[in-house]
Amino acid sequence: MKPGKSPTCEPVLDAGQSASAAQFDRQSDRYGKSHILADTRDVAMGLAGMPVPEGGTALDVATGGGHTALFLAGQGWEVTAGDMSQRMLLNAQKLCADAGYAVEIRMFAAEQMPFHDGTFDLVTSRVAPHHFSSPGEFVCESARVLKPGGHLLVIDGSLPDDDPETEEWLHQVEKWHDPSHNRLLSRKTWESLVRGVGLRIVRSELHPLKQPDMRWWLDTSATPIENREKVHEAVRTVSKHVREALGLADDQGKITWWWPRLTLLAVKPLD
């Protein structure tokens, strides 16, 4: 198969987007075949029951290591993988090529998609929107580039509804872990954003994902020593309520917890 196209010229990024791009350029090599996101059963579950249309086109936004793009290509989609990090894009392209699939790669911010209206049958973004400067603009852009009848799949960390204590604790820990983190959104907030641009929700579910080792989590983002100490102190002093809400535990010397993970599938009406 022919190799995918190279990234286009670099997009104009705001401060938050630039921080994310730099972070993922630095850490791109940690997102290979052995990364936790290589397990794409969550994508399969999110798209369950949705057939691939003939010649179906899919856009994977903030593709990271390319695991979702690879899954989609394997299902028969014509895939465009987008990211702000050039190194991530090239690694994602190689991951797909090594498996025998060609994907197009494009460099852009999730809030500024360089595509015409009604280009894609499917837009996906997985474990990335918490880095976006404006999830609302991402949703607007996704709705714009979708064809009528096309679907948006969002899989990302989320929050328990109506639990400000857990929300604030988790937000602070995520920010220490990776300063390019912006904000986790609750399921209610995501549903409001999606409905606000005229998309109809097909499914919206929380499926907590076990984070098996905090040390690995910190290593993947190259969290500085001083921030690691803050994270460990936050874990040591966490309230009983937050500990129970997130299932924080010490499992044979490894700190584990359950990350609230949202799977939301929405469709653009035909009329």
Q: Determine contact, residues 107/116, Cβ cutoff 8 Å.
A: no
Residue 60 lies in a domain: yes
**How do 254-259 and 120-126 pair as beta strands?**
unpaired
Residue 243 lies in a domain: no
**Model pLDDT, residue 222:** 85
**Model pLDDT, residue 199:** 98
Residue 3 lies in a domain: no
Residue 6 lies in a domain: no
Residue 169 lies in a domain: no
The residues, any chain, with a CB within 8 Å of residue 68's CB and separated by 6 or more, are: 37, 40, 43, 60, 124, 126
Average pLDDT on 150-165 reads 93
Tell me the β-bridge partners of 125.
154
Please report, rounded to a whole number, the percentage of residues in the chain having pLDDT higher than 90: 68
**Model pLDDT, residue 219:** 87
Q: How is residue 21 written in tokens?
A: 């791009």
Residue 270 or 30, more confident? 270
**Model pLDDT, residue 24:** 46
Tell me the β-bridge partners of 152.
123, 266
- Count up the domains in the chain and report the number: 1
Q: How is residue 84 written in tokens?
A: 């702000």
Lowest mean pLDDT among 3-7, 56-60, 78-82, 93-97: 3-7
What CATH number has the domain bearing residue 147?
Answer: 3.40.50.150
pLDDT of 10 > 60? The answer is: no
Residue 249 lies in a domain: no
pLDDT of 197 > 80? The answer is: yes
Residue 203 lies in a domain: yes
Residue 77: band (very low, low, confident or very high) from pLDDT cuts 50, 70, 90: very high
Whole-angstrom distance, CA of residue 113 vs CA of residue 161: 30
Cα–chain center distance at 15: 19
SS3 119: coil
Whole-angstrom distance, CA of residue 28 vs CA of residue 110: 18
Q: How is residue 49 written in tokens?
A: 């029951």
Q: Which residue type does 248 have?
A: L
Average pLDDT on 182-203 reads 95
29-41 pLDDT, tens digit per residue, is 444 455 567 899 9
Residue 14: band (very low, low, confident or very high) from pLDDT cuts 50, 70, 90: low
Domain span at residue 189? 15-159+180-209+260-267
108-127 pLDDT, tens digit per residue, is 999 999 999 999 999 999 99
208-252 pLDDT, tens digit per residue, is 888 888 888 888 888 999 999 999 999 999 999 999 999 999 888
**Model pLDDT, residue 242:** 95
**Model pLDDT, residue 12:** 60
**Model pLDDT, residue 35:** 55
Residue 67 lies in a domain: yes
Determine which helix (DSSP H) or strand (DSSP E) holds 233, and give its type and residue range: helix 225-236
